């Protein structure tokens, strides 16, 4: 079992729709959770972080965390063609000297078509 799992997609949604991206993780001790966006040929860019159960909203993006189910999701409202990219879920397992040691999923390819 992979430590962080994502559906590789591709996920295709029409412009203006809600895109829903999902991620599960295996380590119950995980404390910090991140969503990165990566355009083709570019480096990952942080778009959301979430640390406690529930929802966190930032503009068109909402991250959801359920530690009991070991599940993280990202919702993108009013999807735009410019949102087409690979979305990477990343999990940080512990504090202290492991700050920044992230385990990434394989990424979900999102395509938003006009």
Partner 1 sequence: DTGVSQDPRHKITKRGQNVTFRCDPISEHNRLYWYRQTLGQGPEFLTYFQNEAQLEKSRLLSDRFSAERPKGSFSTLEIQRTEQGDSAMYLCASSPSLDEKLFFGSGTQLSVL
Question: Cα 91–96–99 angle (5° rounding)?
Answer: 40
Confirm or reject binding of residue 104 to partner 1 (CB under 8 A).
Answer: yes
Confirm or reject binding of residue 23 to partner 1 (CB under 8 A).
Answer: no
Confirm or reject binding of residue 7 to partner 1 (CB under 8 A).
Answer: no
Give how many residues touch partner 1 by CB under 8 A. Answer: 25
CA atoms of 39 and 54, how far apart (whole Å): 28
CA atoms of 82 and 95, how far apart (whole Å): 34
> Which residues of this chain interact with partner 1, rule CB under 8 A?
4, 8, 32, 34, 42-46, 49, 88-90, 92, 97-107
């Amino acid at each position: 079992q992979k430590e962080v799992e994502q559906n590789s997609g591709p996920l295709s949604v029409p412009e203006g729709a809600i895109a829903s991206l999902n991620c599960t993780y295996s380590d119950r001790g995980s404390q910090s959770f991140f969503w990165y966006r990566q355009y083709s040929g570019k480096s990952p860019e942080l778009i959301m972080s979430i640390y406690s159960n529930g929802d966190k909203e930032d503009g068109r993006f909402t991250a959801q965390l359920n530690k009991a189910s070991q599940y993280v999701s990202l919702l993108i409202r009013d999807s735009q063609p410019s949102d087409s990219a690979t979305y990477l879920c990343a999990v940080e397992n512990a504090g202290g000297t492991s700050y920044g040691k992230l385990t990434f999923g394989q990424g979900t390819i999102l395509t938003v078509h006009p």
